[in-house]
Amino acid sequence: MFDRFFPDEYVASTYVIPFEKLYEEGYRGVIFDIDNTLVPHGAPADERAEKLFRRLKKIGFSSCLISNNREARVKMFNRNIQTQYIYNAHKPSVKNYVRAMEIMGTDRETTLFVGDQLFTDVWGARKAGIHSILVRPIHPKEEIQIVLKRRLEKIVLYFYARKKNRSGQKKD
């Protein structure tokens, strides 16, 4: 029932993702959410985010930011990152996930998505057929509508963990 919202992977932070390994596996493009995925909500790019994008470029990845925020917010974050971006993306609509792949010159098999929300980020990536990586939110301060969604996400993540535990037990 909740499977449509399950990420392909769930990790503690964007900054622990083994991008070199993923590149070796054939991935060539990474689509990122911004708020609570790369920086706290509303924050500019920090040194850690800037270092990540330099690393991705060095590895050979194309990247694109996809955000439901207005252009001013995305542009401010991107000032020192200097990657492609899509604002007002209407996630979980598939349209701008596809557009991001077109911008990067990648396809469903060679693209990753990294975000912190199940019902916008992950669900949109899954509908678009993209490998999704859910990260824990960076900061607890969020807008009220996101706080309410987080309560529902806990239920979905409970079933996600149960499924992962069951599939892990079968392998042993």
CATH classification of the domain holding 53: 3.40.50.1000
Q: Is the pLDDT of residue 152 over 80?
A: no
> With 80 as the cut, is the pLDDT of residue 92 above it?
yes
**Percent of residues, the chain, with pLDDT higher than 90:** 73
Average pLDDT over residues 27-55: 96
Summary mean pLDDT of the chain: 90
pLDDT for residue 142: 58
Q: What per-residue confidence (pLDDT) applies to 171?
A: 39
Residues 30 and 49 sit within 8 Å (Cβ to Cβ): no
Range of the domain at 101: 3-171
Q: Is the pLDDT of residue 61 over 60?
A: yes
- How high is the pLDDT of residue 153? 80
Stronger pLDDT, 154 or 27, i.e. the higher one? 27
Q: Specify the pLDDT at position 93.
A: 95
What's the whole-model pTM score? 0.87
Q: Strand pairing of 84-86 and 62-66?
A: parallel
Which of 5-9, 67-71, 109-113, 140-144 is least confident?
140-144
CA distance 27 to 132: 12
Stretch 38-54: mean pLDDT: 96
Structure tokens at 44: 């500019």
Averaged pLDDT, 111-121 = 94
Indicate whether 114 pLDDT > 60.
yes
Long-range contacts of 81-87 (CB under 8 A, 24+ apart): 81/45, 81/49, 81/50, 81/53, 82/53, 83/53
In degrees, rounded to 5, the angle at the alpha carbon of residue 155 between the alpha carbons of residues 153 and 157 is: 65
pLDDT at 146 over 80: no
Q: How confident is the model at residue 172 (pLDDT cuts 50, 70, 90)?
A: very low
**Residue 101 corresponds to which tokens in the numbers above?**
């792949």
Q: Given a cut of 60, is residue 20 above it in pLDDT?
A: yes
Residues 6+ apart with CB under 8 A from 143: 41
Q: How many domains does the chain have?
A: 1
- DSSP E strands in 1-156: the ranges are 9-11, 29-32, 62-66, 84-86, 111-115, 131-135
The vertex-134 CA angle with 152 and 84, nearest 5°, equals 120
CA 77, CA 99: separation in Å to the nearest integer? Answer: 20
- If residue 169 lies in a helix (H) or strand (E), which one and from where to where? helix 144-171
